[in-house]
Amino acid sequence: MREHDRLFIGGDWTAPSGTGTIDVVSPHTEEVVGRVPDGTAADIDAAVAAARHAFDHGPWPRMTPAERAEIIGRLAAIYAERQQEMADLVTAEMGSPILFSIFGQAALPQMVLQYHADLAASFTWEEERAGMLGPVTVTREPVGVVAAIYPWNVPQFTLMLKLAPALVAGCTVVAKPSPEAPLDGFLLAEWIREAGVPDGVVNIVPAGREVGAHLVAHPGVDKVAFTGSTDAGRRIGAVCGERLKACTLELGGKSAAIILPDADLAATVEGLKMASLMNNGEACAAQTRILAPRARYDEVADALAAMVGGLAVGDPADYGTEIGPLVARRQRERVEGYIRIGQEEGAKIITGGLSRPHDRGWYVTPTLFGDVSNDMRVAREEIFGPVLALIPYDDEDDAVRIANDSDYGLGGSVWTADVAHGVEVARRVRTGSCGVNLYVLDPNTPFGGYKDSGLGRELGPEGVSPYLEYKAIPRPS
């Protein structure tokens, strides 16, 4: 049981303004495993004030990028030493299988942090250009105070997509974790203090939706960076647009995996175990639409059914577990609701269904639907659970058409024996990323989506630019 009675504001542990608390409930045992203060609007005001003071008067924005990178590097080193602790904590609070947590919930966030510490040396912070009337200095300056609002499914990773570039750019941050998974943020706060990040540069206040809305609209915030649902992203984008406030939105997905006729089916299905079902299927970039050529449809269905039906479902802390519980009772109800919808629409359950694998915990049996058409809700709406839709296609053009016939455009993949041809097919898919014979997020490359999957990019040098303002300084020759 981890209990915190204070919030991380201004570089110190600060008593909250209210008396409310958030119980963190294990999705495996349904028992309380942690408790933190439930942040209020007054707490957000205090956190923004601390971040504002640190930006307007503190050393952080006035350091050189190299000086900031040294401190970020110290934080990355602490993170590297204690990754297992972070992985165990995230697994306990939101149910991610421990083998996934070790990589996706701990190692990958640490890699993102270290990447940005290293990027400081090669990023173009200032340049000279030849202007029409004389030389022009073009410089990049930090955008200001950033509101980083991140979800429960991969909390450290989605936070680090915002925190790391904001820090290297010289911004200060108010981070709002979700109520379902706030504990990891408090552990990170300990490491931030230990690394010597100046007071007020990072502030962490867990809270619910209404308090999050207060943070988004706060006049002391210069930029909002959000990961979450498309509906919430629309509301945040509208508020930021009304106030001419910068925002980055990483939203939902309904990504397609295109299996070409020449694909090695055994290797493809093994790759889809991670690409489609990572983190219990609670991943925005999961490849949950599987597109199979009609000539191999039955073969693909049988191979996928064997893989999905054979997944080990159980205690997320067990190293043999491949699918853990969903984060909350409401999430299990949502996913089971979609399984019913799929049946009502005429899709066939090839394996899985509504029988629950365990009496305790918020578990769902991994499910594969066949005979799915792309106009069904199970093919168009983000389910966020271990549910896959197998869709037949006629030829390659038809496969690309189906993949692109979506309101979303976040991820995707192509599976083929001809990698060069797979790259050509991937170029035709209208998504922010599309892997060939794998799906992976690389800190060195931009991540984000087209259409309803969001605005802007995170990761890579492209992910730093949204945290900078560009200034031109012309002068006579």
Active site residues: 250, 284
Which structure tokens are listed for 314?
A: 């159980």
Give the strand pairing for 246-250 and 223-227: parallel
Pairing of strands 223-227, 145-149: parallel
At 274 the three-state DSSP class reads helix
Q: In a 10 Å sphere around its CB, with 0-12 CB exposed, 13-18 middle and 19+ buried, how is residue 85 labelled?
A: middle
Q: ∠ CA(115), CA(200), CA(111), 5° rounding? A: 15
What would the two tokens of residue 308 be? 């999905």
Residue for token digits 């890699």?
A: 111
Cα dihedral value 124, 130, 131, 133, nearest 10: 140
Count H helices and E strands in the chain, helices first: 15, 23
Query: Cα(7)–Cα(415) distance, rounded to whole angstroms?
Result: 47
Query: Cα(230)–Cα(145) distance, rounded to whole angstroms?
Result: 24
The values of phi and psi at residue 429, to 5°, are -85, 125
For residue 300, the surrounding DSSP H or E stretch is helix 297-309
Alpha-carbon torsion (44, 45, 48, 50), positive or negative: negative
Q: Which residues pair with 24 in a beta bridge?
A: 34
What percent helix, strand, coil does the chain show, rounded to 5?
40, 20, 35
Tokens 């998504």 identify what position?
431
| Dist. CA 436–CA 412, nearest whole Å | 9
